Amino acid sequence: MKLVFAIVSNDDSTLLIQALIEAKYSVTKLSTTGGFLKSGNTTLLIGTEEKEVDNVISIIKSYSKQRVQPMPVISSKEFGMIQSQFIDVQVGGATIFVIDVDRYEKV
**Structural domain spans, the chain:** 2-100
For residue 3, the SS3 value is strand
- Give CA–CA dist 104/72, Å, rounded: 45
For the stretch 50-101, pLDDT in tens is 999 999 999 999 999 887 777 777 666 666 656 677 877 767 789 999 999 9
pLDDT band (50, 70, 90) for residue 40 = confident
For the stretch 22-39, pLDDT in tens is 999 999 999 887 665 566
Span 2-100: which CATH code?
3.30.70.120
Give residue 92's pLDDT: 72
For residue 107, pLDDT over 90 is answered with no
Name the amino acid, one letter, at 32.
T
Between the CA of residue 76 and those of 42, 57, 71, what are the distances in Å?
34, 44, 17
